[in-house]
Structure formats: C-alpha cells, structure tokens
C-alpha cells in the first residue's frame, strides 16, 4: 500500500473508533452530567499530525457524523471541526508545534475554542438559551474534561507513533522532524540515530539514516 | 520548439477547505429551516436506528461502572439501607403530592354531578438505553420506537413524576428530551395557591418557574404539578417541589427554583403515556348539570377534564422542545 493509502485507512479507522467511543463510552463516563467530546479531541490530535487538506476533510467528516448522532443543530459541529482542523493544520506547517509544550497548549486552546464556538452556535440557533449560564456550566467544564483527555490522547499518539513510525515523523510534508524532543506523532527515531550493522556483533555504528549506504 | 505535455490540473489547496466550510454552512441552514419530515431529520432517524445496538452495548458495559459509582456514593452507610431510604423518600414525596392534589381536586369535582373518569390512559414501559452523547442536550434514548406505538410528543414519566417528552422516534428507539433541558418548558401550577406559570429547564440542570408574579404566594416545599394547559402534558403530574423563591426590588416576577422529584439517573425504565390519542369516550358534558365554572375548567384543558390526577388532557402534540415551550406558554 502506498503511504497515502495507509494514511487514509489509518485516519478512517481512528475516526470511526472515535465515533464509536462517543456513542458507547462517552455517555457512561460523564462527570456531573458533563459528557466529554471525544470526536473533537480526536480531530484536534489528528489535525496536528495531518497535512492541511486531509486534516480538513477529516474534521468535516467527523463533525458530520457527530451531528448525525447528536441532537444539536445539524452541520454545526461539522463547521466547527472543519475550521478547527484548518487552523491547527495551518499552524502545523510552521514551527509553532515543534515543541511538546506548545503542542499541549495548542490542544488546550483548540479545545476551548471548539467548545466556545459550539456554544455560540447553539445560542444563535436557540435564542432561549442562557449563554452566560451555558458558558459557566457547560463550556468551561467540558473544555476542562476534553483538555485532560486531549493531553492523554496526545501522549498515546506519541507513544503509538514511536512504536509504528520508525524514522518517520508526522504525516505532514513540512520540515523533517528534529532529533528528539518532539512529543507528537513523529516520535520516532531521530535522524542521527545509529543503526546496527550486519556482521558487526551487535555493535552500534555511527552511520546516520539519512546518508546513502555504500 | 517543443511543446510540454499537459499536466493534469490539481485544485489549489485552499479550495477544498473553503468548499467544506460552505457545505457545512449550507447543511446547518438546511437543518435549522427544514421541518420534521425533512431529509436531515430522516437521516438522523436512520442513524438512530443504526446506533441502537451500540447504545445497548454501551448500556451493558456501563453496568459495572454504575455499580461502582453507587457503591462510592453509599460508602458511608450500608448501601442497601441508603438505596431503600432514597427510594422510599422519593415515593412518599410523590405520594403526598398526589394525595393532596387528589383531595383538592375531589372537593372541586364534588359539584360535578355524575361526571366520571372516562379517560383510559394507556402506557408502555421502556428501558433507558443511553443518555445524551454531548453536554448540551439533556436527552435519553429509550428502547421503544414507532414499531411499539411511540410517537413524537408523548409524555414520559418515571414512577414518581414527569421526566420529559418524546422528541424523535425511530423504528426501534426514541429520544426523550428531559424537562431539565434548557429548551424545555412545561405549563404548571402550584398546588397550594393554584398559581399558573411556566416551568423551564436550565443549563445548570435546575428547574425554574417563569412568569410567577411577585404577589403570588409561594413557599419552599410547595408542590409543582402540570396544569395541562396547551395540551402537551396531561394535567396533574407531579414535577417537584419549590426549593427557594426570591426576587429583586425592581423585579416583576419571582425567581423560583424547583427540585424535581424524578432524577433520570435513578431509573433504568420509564413509562411512556401512549394513550393520549387513543379513542376514548368523550363525556357528554351537555347532559350533565355542570356549573359554568366547571365548564370553563374542562374547556381550558382542550376539552379534557382531569380525573384523579392521572387523566389525559388535550390531543395536541409538538415535535421539538422549542415548539413544546411555545405551545405550553401559549405563544
């Protein structure tokens, strides 16, 4: 399979898993009637890893499926997740998310932004809604819950990426990952890491991966 | 001079996000504007049918979690004792409310010669499959759908009081919007003073009485009951009791907080009143020697006087919760 196909299949599986988790798990792990938004969190984490267009498509599709199973205004979450994925993936092209602390901040801010936008959308569609009350009793607690889960997901994505992406970084075709230190998706083996040479009795030799082997 | 072969044209990277955003906006507009039978509503109903097995799975998997939560809550006393006391307390509170309502109603109805309770209320028991999958909507999904005679607008109750109203109906399941949802509204009256007002849900999961004038007497502990006005909910269902009543100097209406007698978290099954549209014998009021006040009382609830507190009234149903509020408030 080509890398693009692999990426598409992996993204599809992640998206469907998130949706199933939203239906099956999320209502049962609510705390004080606050239900975590697992789809939102997944889109944010994936948008950090994916290039712009796939991230946007993933955000739109996930949001649409979320709208289908929820009772909120149809299309609202699709709109918000598309915008959110677009924004995060655009930031991803630069050097903003090179450090794991920045990535964590990005997850927290994106969660807050997503929940806030959803609240504004709800208030626009339903004029009877008390926006201030919703902000205090729904938006902020949900953001807190989502942010905690987002950081856990980010860590999982990092660990999973390190196991599956040897030498590979995030999916973006941006700058290559730096050696060490990155938390997101890339994980992986730094470019300067030594590789084991055959016939050398397991001794590590200093030939970087990005050099041509003679 | 050589001519370069034509390369396949690719869309600029910015086009797809813009198209998707426009599409989402169009869907949002369509979803808000379309009626109950529109394509998006149908799509949601189909999705609801598909997700029923998943919700059943979730409900099954949640049993240990729920048991764990209950065990934690009851850690300070014997769990059986506490659970039993809570259940007894809820049942007794509801019973006192119903008895008081029945007594007062009985006194009024003594004047109605020969009026009998001609309304046979039918109901169906349904199991709660799941709760809302987001924080914004306070809804539950039940395992009875259109195949079981459930339709939009039907009243849903717990053994002790009102829970909500059926909002969307699929083939094998239905969603119920709870009265604590911010977009729900119920026409109610206070049992003691008979003052009518609107009960609204809120984002903090409390119930508020709206449009209750400052001069209306209200005390903590007063029982709140559905009035049947608007024909959405039957008359006489206990909802809760007043916790506090306050008002500012310049306020026209009081701020009254109501504690519901039924918390949906306490139940695994609910009762759906299915008999509201059933063919029931309409009493021939003209043949009875009714006083004018009695006539006006019966006509105010869409031609259906209440019986012993569980009588059906009216036949109007609404689909959405917003419509419910509008209908109940007479707007």
* Whether A173 contacts chain B with CB within 8 A: no
**What residues 125-144 of chain B have any CB closer than 8 A to a CB of chain A?**
130-139
Asked if residue A124 lies in contact with residue B25, where contact means CB atoms within 8 angstroms, the answer is no
Fold of B185-260: Thrombin, subunit H (2.40.10)
Q: pLDDT class for A81, splitting at 50, 70, 90?
A: very high
What is the average pLDDT score of chain B?
73
User: Which contacts qualify for A162-170: CB closer than 8 Å, 24 or more apart?
Assistant: A162/A187, A162/A188, A163/A187, A167/A191, A167/A209, A170/A48, A170/A49, A170/A50, A170/A92
pLDDT > 90 fraction of chain B, expressed in percent and rounded: 6
Mean pLDDT of A63-72: 90
Residue A64 pLDDT exceeds 80 = yes
- Domain parsing of chain B, residue ranges: 40-180+263-278+296-331, 185-260
Backbone angles phi, psi at B135, to 5 degrees: -80, -15
Q: With contacts defined as CB-CB under 8 Å, which chain A residues touch B21?
A: 79, 82-83, 86
Chain A closest-CA separation from residue B168 CA (Å): 9
Burial class of residue B81 in the structure, from the number of CB atoms within 10 Å of its CB (0-12 exposed, 13-18 middle, 19+ buried):
exposed
Q: Kindly write down the DSSP assignment for every residue of A32-89, as one continuous string.
A: TTBPP-HHHHHHHHHHHHS-HHHHHHHHHHHHHHHHHHSSS-TTHHHHHHHHHHHHHH
Q: With contacts defined as CB-CB under 8 Å, which chain B residues touch A72?
A: 134, 136-137
The confidence score (pLDDT) of residue B115 equals 39
Mean pLDDT of B35-56: 83
**pTM of the full structure:** 0.69
* Whether A141 contacts chain B with CB within 8 A: yes
Q: pLDDT class for B10, splitting at 50, 70, 90?
A: low
What is the average pLDDT score of chain A?
77
The confidence score (pLDDT) of residue A109 equals 92
Question: Between these two residues, A95 and B325, which has the higher pLDDT value?
Answer: A95
Question: Between these two residues, A1 and B300, which has the higher pLDDT value?
Answer: A1
Only one residue has tokens 């890491």, namely A193
The confidence score (pLDDT) of residue B53 equals 83
CA distances (Å), origin A150, targets A36, A42, A94: 10, 8, 21
The confidence score (pLDDT) of residue B68 equals 66
Of the given ranges (B178-182, B255-259, B280-284), which has the lowest mean pLDDT? B280-284
CATH class of B40-180+263-278+296-331: mainly beta
Of the given ranges (A59-73, A114-128, A196-210), which has the lowest mean pLDDT? A196-210
Neighbours of A72 (CB within 10 A): 20
Question: Between these two residues, A95 and A194, which has the higher pLDDT value?
Answer: A95
3.30.460, 1.10.1060, 2.30.130, 1.10.1760: CATH of A3-164: 1.10.1760
**What residues 24-63 of chain A have any CB closer than 8 A to a CB of chain B?**
24-30, 33-35, 37, 52-53, 56-57, 60, 63
Burial class of residue B166 in the structure, from the number of CB atoms within 10 Å of its CB (0-12 exposed, 13-18 middle, 19+ buried):
buried
Closest CA to A114 of A47, A54, A40: A40
Question: Between these two residues, A161 and A30, which has the higher pLDDT value?
Answer: A30
């Amino acid at each position: 399979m080509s890398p693009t196909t692999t990426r598409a299949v992996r993204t599809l599986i992640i998206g469907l898993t998130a949706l199933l988790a939203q239906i099956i798990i999320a209502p049962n792990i609510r705390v004080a009637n606050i239900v975590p938004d697992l789809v939102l969190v997944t889109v944010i984490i994936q948008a950090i890893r994916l290039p712009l267009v796939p991230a946007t498509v993933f955000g739109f599709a996930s949001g649409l499926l979320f709208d289908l199973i929820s009772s909120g205004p149809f299309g609202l979450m699709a709109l918000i997740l598309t915008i959110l994925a677009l924004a995060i993936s655009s930031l991803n092209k630069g050097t903003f998310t090179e450090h794991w602390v920045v990535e964590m901040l990005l997850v927290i801010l994106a969660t807050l932004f997503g929940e806030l936008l959803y609240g504004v959308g709800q208030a626009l569609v339903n004029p009877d809604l008390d926006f201030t009350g919703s902000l205090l009793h729904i938006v902020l607690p949900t953001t807190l819950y989502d942010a905690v889960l987002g950081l856990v997901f980010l860590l999982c994505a990092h660990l999973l990426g390190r196991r599956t992406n040897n030498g590979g970084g995030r999916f973006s075709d941006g700058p290559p990952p730096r050696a060490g230190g990155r938390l997101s998706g890339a994980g992986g083996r730094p470019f300067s890491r030594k590789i084991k040479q055959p016939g050398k009795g397991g001794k590590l030799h200093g030939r970087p991966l990005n050099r041509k082997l003679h | 001079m050589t001519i370069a072969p034509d390369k396949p044209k690719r869309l600029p990277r910015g086009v797809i996000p813009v198209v998707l955003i426009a599409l989402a906006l169009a869907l949002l507009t369509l979803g808000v504007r379309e009626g109950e039978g529109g394509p998006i509503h149908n799509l949601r109903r189909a999705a609801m049918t598909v997700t029923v097995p998943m919700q059943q799975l979730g409900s099954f998997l949640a049993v240990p979690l729920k048991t764990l939560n209950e065990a934690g809550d009851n850690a300070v006393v014997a769990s059986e004792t506490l659970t039993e006391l809570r259940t007894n307390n809820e049942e007794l509170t509801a019973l006192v409310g119903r008895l008081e309502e029945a007594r007062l109603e009985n006194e009024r109805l003594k004047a109605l010669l020969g009026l009998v309770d001609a309304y046979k209320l039918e109901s169906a028991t349904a199991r709660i499959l799941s709760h809302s999958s987001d924080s914004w909507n306070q809804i539950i999904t039940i395992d009875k759908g259109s195949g079981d005679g459930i339709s939009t607008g039907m009243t849903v109750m717990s053994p002790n009081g009102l829970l909500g109203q059926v909002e969307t109906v699929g083939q094998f399941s239905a969603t119920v919007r709870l009265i604590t949802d911010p977009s729900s509204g119920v026409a109610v009256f206070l049992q003691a003073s008979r003052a009518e007002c609107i009960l609204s849900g809120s984002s903090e999961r409390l119930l508020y009485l709206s449009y209750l004038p400052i001069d209306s007497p209200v005390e903590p502990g007063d029982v709140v009951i559905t009035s049947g006005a608007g024909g959405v909910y039957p008359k006489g269902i206990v909802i809760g009791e007043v916790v506090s009543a306050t008002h500012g100097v310049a306020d026209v209406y009081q701020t009254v907080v109501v504690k519901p007698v039924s918390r949906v978290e306490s139940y695994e099954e609910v009762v759906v009143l299915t008999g509201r549209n059933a063919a029931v014998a309409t009493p021939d009021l003209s043949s009875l020697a009714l006083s004018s006040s009695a006539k006006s009382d019966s006509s105010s609830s869409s031609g259906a006087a209440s019986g012993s507190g569980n009588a059906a009234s009216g036949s109007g149903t609404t689909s959405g919760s917003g419509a419910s509020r509008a209908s109940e408030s007479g707007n």
